[in-house]
Chains A and B, each alone.
Chain A
Amino acid sequence: MALPVRKATRARPAAPVALLVLAAVGAAFFVIPLIGLVLRTPWAATWDQLKSPEVLTALRLSLLSSVSATAIALVFGVPLAWTFARLTFPGRAVLRAVTVLPMVLPPVVGGVALLLAFGRRGLLGSWLATTFGIHLPFTTAGAIIAETFVAMPFLVITVEAGLRSMDTRFEDAARTLGASRWTVLWRVTLPLIRPSLVAGAVLCWARALGEFGATITFAGNFPGRTQTMPLAVYLALETNPDAAIVLSLVLLAVSLAVLIGLRDRWLGAS
């Protein structure tokens, strides 16, 4: 006997109660701390905090550095993801593990590793300093590098997953029709994995925006130069906890707006 097609059920699956309860606990775990923060916000002082030059400086720097880090991650991360997804070569598994290591590495340790690589006496840093006079620690460029180091893996694994799950027959068809490798990449592959690209870029940006440990360790903390929002929040907690909460809310509002906006617009979620 053929089973009837039950469209209604597909659209709204019957949920086991236990599952819903667990999901509710899971959601509450994220929602309650947020509510706590909102309830404790000194709303009367919020506007004064927001228009203070320190906050605007930190916010501007945070946006600049997180967007730059995402751009760098796209330029280098997409080719890396493509390499991992499409090529087989000796040591690929190890190399791939190394490139996603910053996701689990304590960011402070990442910051120290960056100093050993790009610091004044680092492997590359000493060469950069003597040859080009480039110093990365304590500069905005250093903050961007720290954020890229920590955030790029999120883009790489998301794009790699997209490449692995896409139907490669479209690429084959384009090739048989005479398209060059570049044309296939630009006109077929990348458009097909656009949701993964956008998701990866957004994840990467969000991680970069919240980055603290690697930035403070590698780039230090100076207002207008390397003091991003998370650093400003941390220091404000020492002296002016109300300001810290307001700063955190600004960061939350910006991220939430972007995440929700992009999700509806690009990721096809309902």
Chain B
Amino acid sequence: MPWKAVAAFTAAVALCSSCGNSPPSASSSSAASGTITVFEASSLTAAYTAIGNDFQKNHAGTMVKLIPGGSSTLVAQIQQGAIGDVFASADQPNMQKLVDAGLVAGSPSIFAHNRLEIVVGAGNPKHITGLSDLARSGLVVVLCAPAVPCGRYATQALQKAGVSVKPASQETDVKAVVSKVALGEADAGIVYVTDIKAAGATVEGVEIPMGANVVADYPVAVLKDSQNAPLAKAFVSYLLGAGQSTLARYGFTGP
């Protein structure tokens, strides 16, 4: 495919700048040391860090290395031969790309769902109560760009609610929307529930009723080239079992 070179480069940059771990090729997931490398969508990082720590406690002598990144970036990276054991995506289409490429062992399982919420500044200074308020004139609304999943979902939610919004900006990722609201530059945005939980006290969330909401599915799978498949499978089972309470604490809902 003609774009792999560019995608791989982007992936490499994202990898080095966001995680600070050694690159996956150097991680050598040998069974003896009991190490697995988990590629995980950025929105999962906080929850996965906690789950990884719990898993290590419950499985003595193991180590879980997290590689966070945008789902599409991680897919490009894995397609370019990055070595790892587990991939957790923030959406189905990106997981499907790896399934189609024959890079997944078995079939992916949905381990969590995420919902959308309206993010507003602490104390909700503009008194926003629902999606229809976002059409108010004079309100600075930022959304994700339609090209990224959170933008696609936000567009769907607004369509369901029959609301037309003129965003001031179409941000390249969901964290940028949260930070624009947290800094007070924007009055409101549409993001995942989990991002609002992670942002702390600077922002708060306004619920979107289920009728207008969009549910994002998070699939996880063991990679075909895993060098420690038993431990990778154990991690996925843990995620689907004992890890669910941790995911719930970070705002995800169960499968």
Contacts and interface: CB of A to CB of B under 8 A. Distances in A.
Nearest to A106: B17
A37 B185 contact: no
A125 B170 CA distance: 22
A216 B147 contact: no
A119 B168 CA distance: 14
A261 interface: no
B169 A226 contact: yes
Interface stretch (B2-10, B44-52, B103-111, B210-218): B2-10
B168 A37 contact: no
A120 interface: yes
Main SS of the interface on chain A? helix
B176 interface: yes
B185 A120 contact: yes
B246 to A, nearest CB: 29
Contact of A241 (B6, B70, B172, B184): B6
Contacts, number: 85
A121 B2 CA distance: 45
B179 to A, nearest CB: 8
B3 to A, nearest CB: 3
B167 interface: yes
A119 B10 CA distance: 29
Contact of B2 (A137, A219, A235, A241): A241
B75 to A, nearest CB: 11
Interface string B57-73: 00000000000001010
A9 B168 CA distance: 62
B135 interface: no
Given A138-B169, A221-B171, A36 B5 contact: yes
B153 to A, nearest CB: 14
A146 B43 CA distance: 28
B148 A238 contact: yes
Interface in B136-188: 140, 142, 145, 147-148, 167-172, 176, 180, 183-185
Interface string A177-192: 0000000000000000
A237 B4 CA distance: 10
Contacts of B185: 115, 119-121, 137-138
Interface of A: 33, 36-37, 40-42, 112, 115-116, 119-121, 137-138, 216-217, 219-223, 226-227, 231, 234-239, 241-242, 244-245, 248
| 3 tightest A-B CB contacts, nearest first | A220-B169, A241-B3, A138-B168
Given A37-B6, A138-B140, 9 more contacts: A33-B9, A40-B2, A40-B5, A220-B169, A235-B145, A237-B6, A238-B70, A238-B72, A241-B3
9 contacts: A40-B4, A120-B140, A217-B176, A220-B168, A235-B145, A235-B147, A235-B172, A241-B1, A241-B6
Interface of B: 1-7, 9-10, 70, 72, 140, 142, 145, 147-148, 167-172, 176, 180, 183-185
